[in-house]
Structure 1
Amino acid sequence: MAKKRKTKKQSPARGRRSRQRKKKKQMKYPVLAGLLLALLALTFFIYQHRFHVSASYKVNQKAIITADSSPMLYPYLFDLAADSLEQNATVQVEGYFLTKLKGKQVTLAKITLRGRSYYLDAKNLQIQQTNTINQYIASLNYPHAEITQAIYQQFKQQAYFGASAQPKGIIIHDTGNDSSSLQSEVSYMKQNYKSAGVFVHSFIDKDSIFQIADDRYMAQGAGPKGNPYYLQFELIREHSQENFARQLANAAYYTAVMLKKYQLPVTLGQKDASGTVWTHQMVSSYLGGTDHQDPDDYWNGAAAEFFASDYSVQDFLDLIQVYYNQL
C-alpha cells in the first residue's frame, strides 16, 4: 500500500506575501484607468483652449490697441493666462494667424509689446495707414456698401480646379472705360456673354458692390491661368477724390469678405503662384495666358490726380486687412 505524500504547509508569512501581491495587482488596474481618464481629460482641456492654426502670414505694420476695448493678450496660442492692457499702446504687428477656437473662427494678430510677443484678437487693432489714400479712407471711418446679389443664371457654372474646388484668391480688374456706369457695364457683359464668353463675379463703384455670378464657380475674365483658380471683380472708373476712395473701400471690404468666406489669408500674389490678392497685370506678368495691365493705369492716374499720391496693390492689402480683421 502506497504511503500518502504529506502536503507541505505554506508558512503564514509566505501566504501573506501572496495575498499582498494579488491585492497590489487588483489595485493597479483602477489606478491605470484613472491615469488614462485624467490624461484624456487633460488632452480634451488643452484641445478646447488651444487656438488651432490653419494658416499664418507675416506683415510689417504698426497699430494702436486701446485699453477701452479690454483686449486679452495671450503669451501663447492658448486662451489661458492672458495679460491685460492697462493703457493705450502702439504695437508692431508681426503677422496674422487664421485659427479656430471651440469651433469659432478667430483671426489673431501677433504683436510686439514692451519687448514681448503676444497674440490677440485682430479686431482690437487700429492699423496705422501709411498711404495717403488709405489715411483718407480711415478718416471716413472705413465705410463700405453691402454686397448686393443678382446672379445671372446664363453664366457657365464650372468648378474651380484643385481638390477643394474652391478659389485660392481674387483678381482685380478695371473696366478701362472712362464714361461707363456700373449698370451699363453689367448690361454689356450679359448681352455679349454668348459671343465673347467673358464675365466676372462682381462690379464695384463708389456706392455699390454688385455680384452677378455665383462665387462658388469660376469666372472667365483672366485667361486660362487665372480663371480656374480666382474670384474676379471689375472696378468702374470714378472721377473724384471721395468717389475713388469710397470705391477702394468697397473693393477692400468685398475682397476681405470673400477671403474670409473661403478661409484664405491676405497675401500678395507671387511669381510662384502663391498669394491670394492679384491684379490682372500681375496675372499677365507672373502666370501668363493674358496680357492685360489693369488696374494699374487707373489706380496710378486717379491717385495722382485726386491725391497727388500713388496707389499700389500693397497699399490695397493694408486696406483689406482692416476690413478682414473686423469680420
Structure 2
Amino acid sequence: MFRHKKFIAKIAAATAIATFGFATYNSVSTQSVQEVQAATSAINTYITNNNIQPVGITNEEGTFTRMFGYRNGIGKPEGVVIHETATPGATARNEATYFNREWMNISTYVHAFVDDKETLNIHNTDYGVWGAGPTANARYIQIELCEVSTTDAFARSVANDAYYTASKLVQYGLPFTPGTTVMSHNDVSKNFGDTDHTDPVGYFSKWGYSMDQFYDLVGTYYNNLKGGTSTGNNGGGTTINGDNKGEGVVQVKNPNGSIVPISVFNDAGQPSNSNRALANNTPWYTDQSRVYNGHTYYRVSTKEWVIDTYATFTAQ
C-alpha cells in the first residue's frame, strides 16, 4: 500500500457543529463475536474459540484538508476498501502519525488504520480520501490493516478490521455484498484499473487467510449489528419518543472537555459517537428525543443526537 453533514437551528445563538479539530473519544463498545458461524479458516475459528472481541473505534480528526464528497454526495459512500500497509511492525498510531505529517508530500490519505489493539479513524467518513485511485476514492471508505508478527495479533487485527467494515456498512445503510460494497485494493485494481496494487491478498496469504474468509468475518459482524446482537451493557433496545418532549432547547455542556460528543444511530437502533461534536456551553434546537439503555438522546440535526449526560432540555 501507499506510505499513506436537514436541520436548520432555530436558535440564532447556536454555534455551528464543530467538524474539525475535536478531541479523541471512543465509540460505544463493540458487539459480541461469539456466534461466528461462517468460520471457514483457522484464523476465524481461532477468533471464535478465544472469544476475541473487536475493540471500539477511536475517532481523531486528522490533518487531511481536502474535503470532498463521494460521487453521490456527502455522506454517501458505496462501501469499504481494505488496504494493508506493507510496513511490518508499524502500529495504527504510527501510521496515522505518518499520514498526518506527510499526506501533502505522498498525495495519499485513508479514513482509518487498524492493528491488533486499536482502530483509529482519522477522517470523517462522510467525505472521501486519496487511497485507491480516482474511481474508488469517489466511492469508498478506506481502511489500512497494519502488519503484525504473531497469529494472535493477526486474528485480533482482522477482527478489528472486519468489525470496522461491518459497522460502516450498517452506519450508511449499505448491504453487505462481497466484492462490491466490500473490496480489497486488489479488487479495485482489477475492476477500475486506476492502480496496480494487490493488497491485502499477499499479506493475508502469509497467514493462510483470504478475502473470502475475511468476508465471512465481516458478514458475521454485519448480521450481528443488523440484528442488534449484544452482550454486556449495550443491549436494552431503543424506544422512539417522537415529539413527547415537544420542541425545545438543549443546553449542551461537557464539564470534562471543550466539546460535546454527538451520536448517530445505526439501523439496529444502537448509538455510536460520530466524527463530529458540538461546541461546549451552547444552546441547540431539538424537536425529538429517544431513549436508549436508560438515557435520553435529543436530536440536534437530521441524524445526530446528544445524550442527556451532556444536555439539559427546556421545553419551547
Q: State TM-score, norm by structure 1.
A: 0.56
1:315 corresponds to: 213
Structure of greater relative contact order (alpha carbons < 8 Å, 6+ residues apart): 2
Does structure 1 conserve the Cα–Cα contact (< 8 Å) formed by 2:86 and 2:147? yes
Aligned in 2, Cα 1:125/1:248: closer, same or farther, shift over 3 Å?
A: closer
Match of 2:50 among 120, 140, 143: 140
Q: Tell me how far 1:180 sits from its aligned partner.
A: 2.0
* 1:298 pairs with one of 191, 195, 203: 203
Q: Mark the runs of 5 or more structure 1 residues left unpaired by the alignment.
A: 1-122, 270-274, 304-309
Name which of 92, 117, 124 aligns with 1:214.
Answer: 124
Count of residues in correspondence between the two structures: 193
2:59 is equivalent to residue 159 of structure 1: no
The structure with the largest alpha-carbon Rg is 1
Query: What is the rounded CA distance, in whole Å, between the counterparts of 1:171 and 1:257 in structure 2?
Result: 13
Alignment of 1:237-256 (within 5 A): 237-256=147-166
Structure 1 residue 142: Cα displacement: 4.2
Which of the two has greater helix per residue? 1
- The alpha-carbon distance between structure 1 residues 159 and 315, as it changes in their structure 2 partners (threshold 3 A), is same
- Any runs of at least 4 consecutive aligned residues in structure 1 with deviations exceeding 3 A, and if so which? 123-126
Distance 1:163 1:221, change over 3 A: closer
Superposed CA RMSD in Å reads: 1.9
Q: What residue in structure 2 maps to residue 283 of structure 1?
A: 188
Q: What residue identity is the alignment partner of 1:160?
A: Y
Q: 1:221 to 1:134 in 2, by over 3 A?
A: same
Are the structure 2 counterparts of residues 263 and 142 from structure 1 closer, same or farther at C-alpha, using a change threshold of 3 Å? farther
Paired residues for 1:95-134 under 5 Å = 127-134=37-44
Q: Deviations over 1:81-126 (max 9, x none)?
A: xxxxxxxxxxxxxxxxxxxxxxxxxxxxxxxxxxxxxxxxxx9966
Q: Distance in 2 between matches of 1:126 and 1:194?
A: 41
Gap runs ≥5 in structure 2: 1-32, 226-316
One-letter amino acid of the counterpart of residue 185, structure 1:
E
Tell me, yes or no, if structure 1 residue 204 matches structure 2 residue 114: yes
The answer to whether the 8 Å contact 1:266/1:317 transfers is no
What's the % identity of the aligned pairs? Answer: 35
Give the 3 Å change call, closer, same or farther, for CA 158–311 of structure 1 in structure 2.
Answer: same
CA deviations over 1:151-191 (Å, ceiling 9, x no partner): 11443110000267511110011111113222221111111
* Amino acid in structure 2 at the alignment position of 1:314: D
Residue 245 of structure 1, CA deviation: 0.2
Q: Is the 8 A contact 1:155 1:213 kept in 2?
A: no
Aligned counterpart in structure 1 of residue 101 of structure 2, from 191, 213, 228: 191
Distance 1:191 1:153 in 2: 8
Give the drift of 1:264: 1.1
Task: After superposition, give the CA deviation of every residue in 1:210-265 in whole Å (9 maximum; x if it has no partner).
Answer: 00011000011000121000000011101001000000100111011000001111
Counterpart Cα distance in 2 of 1:323 and 1:288 = 30
Partner of 2:269: none
> Does the CA contact (< 8 Å) of 1:172 and 1:233 recur in 2?
yes
Tell me if structure 1 keeps the 8 A contact 2:92–2:119: no
Q: CA contact under 8 A between 1:265 and 1:276: conserved in structure 2?
A: yes
